[in-house]
Amino acid sequence: MLGLSLSKTVGKLMDWNIEAIISGYAQGYFLMADDRGKLQWFTSQRRALIPLDQRFRYPKSLQRVLNQTRFQVAIDRDFLGVCQGCADRTTTWISPELIELYGELHQAGWAHSFETWKDDQLAGGILGLAIQGAFIGESMFYHIPEGSKVAMVKLVEHLRQRRYLLFDAQMQNPHLERFGAYTIGQDTYNRLLQRALKRSCVFS
């Protein structure tokens, strides 16, 4: 995995209980299943962030969709459906075990899904962890074109309103670049994360 390194963390951080998982994310790690489906802690040399200021942008064509109010927004209406949607691809790092852990984190109030709906159909969504003033995006998907893009715009609006400091997208890709995503080094990221963890925010 380009730009990723396996952490050497041992002990309680590897127990996969809620406290250990939140502790790991609070130290700048994130969970992924490796090629064998085994859960591991990873770090990234370059961390991708979605800007929550004026640097955030999106394609002009998406503005027409937003003006049409084609989609409705919901939080945690179908959390498991979003997890499954994110995992439903040819190559995925979201294993069944990780989906189960996401469910436990959701029940404990840490993991959330930010969703778009068209009528009664789940159109798309973003899965992530909300820890104090940091939202750590794990994955996104769509069933209906533009569903995930609208979710991204509306999620940024939501995080701004809730005074979040950090929207972590973990790894850069061309799709995220269209929203103004940029990368920072691991040390810079860890300092920003610690600032965000001192800010009290409520996701929903």
Per-residue model confidence as pLDDT tens digits over 136-191: 999 999 999 999 999 999 999 999 999 999 999 999 999 999 999 999 999 999 99
Please check the confidence at residue 9 and state whether its pLDDT lies above 80.
Answer: no
Q: Which one, of 138, 152, 182, lies nearest residue 47 by Cα?
A: 182
pLDDT of 13: 52
Dist. CA 155–CA 162, nearest whole Å = 10
The residue ranking higher by pLDDT, 204 or 8, is: 204
pLDDT band at 125 (very low <50, low <70, confident <90, very high): very high
Q: Residue 52 contacts by C-beta under 8 Å, 6 or more apart in sequence?
A: 156, 159, 160, 164, 165, 166, 167
* Architecture of the CATH domain 46-196: 3-Layer(aba) Sandwich (3.40)
φ and ψ of 26, to 5 deg: -70, -15
